[in-house]
């Protein structure tokens, strides 16, 4: 089933696609995956194949709604996905425990999804300082840690960094303002806005350049 949900009002919008494992079938695989996709799939460890398929479906759905099988996806040297027929588009994929999300846009974008689960309190000190923790202000510690992690990871993906450098990268991304479920993030080069969305037991973050205006978000759920 496909569900659509619109948030805020603005001419520009970000389309985020959410795909659950329950959506995937042999017919769907034939509709979305090309011969080259299927060849690449055989080189992926069996335990990771379903996750890979979810990500491919989510990304293709985010930028095209008719000829999914013809969209070719490559990865740059930093591991970021790119659509060959849409070189001006920025793309981002994330997975977590039976779900994948993806988005693409003609500006830098980053997405992250994480399941809310028990987290070691030491992780909070690793990814944020007290001022950021107080600003996010979520009573449940597991949800707090997951939310902060998702916010920062989404921005790091938009920057093309990810968490490869560990704490050093988390330190350059600072949560400076909270506006409902939207956060303003400061980095040495620019400001970003991150919409945080809670769905089922997941935290989803969508990062885009801060424009000073409300962005419109269109969520497509496939399950």
Residue with tokens 């597991």: 142
Strand (E) or helix (H) holding 200:
none
CA distances, 55 to each of 69, 124, 168, 180 (Å): 14, 28, 28, 29
pLDDT at 165: 52
What percent of the chain is predicted at pLDDT more than 70? 90
For residue 158, the SS3 value is helix
User: Which pTM was predicted?
Assistant: 0.90
pLDDT digits (tens, 9 = 90+) for 11-28: 467 999 999 999 999 998
The residues facing 115 across adjacent strands are: 202
Asked: is 2-222 a CATH 3.40.50.300 domain? The reply is no
Q: What is the mean pLDDT of the chain?
A: 88
CB atoms within 10 A of CB 133: 18
CB atoms within 10 A of CB 116: 19
Q: Average pLDDT of 129-144?
A: 96
pLDDT at 6: 40
Best CA proximity match to 214, nearest among 13, 2, 43: 13
């Amino acid at each position: 089933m496909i569900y659509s949900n619109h948030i805020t009002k603005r001419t520009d919008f970000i389309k985020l696609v959410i795909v659950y494992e329950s959506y995937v079938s042999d017919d769907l695989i034939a509709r979305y995956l090309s011969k080259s996709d299927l060849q690449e799939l055989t080189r992926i460890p069996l335990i990771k194949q379903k996750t890979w398929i979810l990500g491919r479906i989510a990304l293709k759905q985010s930028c095209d709604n008719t000829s999914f099988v013809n969209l070719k996806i490559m990865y740059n040297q930093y591991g970021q996905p790119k659509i060959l027929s849409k070189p001006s588009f920025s793309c981002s994929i994330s997975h977590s425990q039976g779900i994948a999300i993806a988005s693409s846009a003609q500006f830098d974008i980053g997405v992250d999804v994480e399941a809310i689960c028990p987290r070691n309190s030491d992780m909070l000190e690793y990814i944020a300082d007290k001022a950021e923790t107080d600003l996010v202000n979520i009573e449940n510690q597991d949800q707090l840690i997951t939310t902060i992690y998702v916010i920062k990871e989404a921005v790091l993906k938009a920057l093309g960094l990810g968490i490869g450098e560990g704490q050093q990268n988390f330190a350059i991304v600072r949560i400076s303002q909270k506006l409902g479920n939207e956060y303003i993030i400061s980095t040495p080069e620019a400001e970003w806005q991150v919409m945080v969305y809670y769905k089922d037991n997941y935290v989803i973050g969508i990062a885009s350049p801060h424009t000073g205006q409300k962005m419109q978000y269109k969520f497509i759920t496939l399950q």
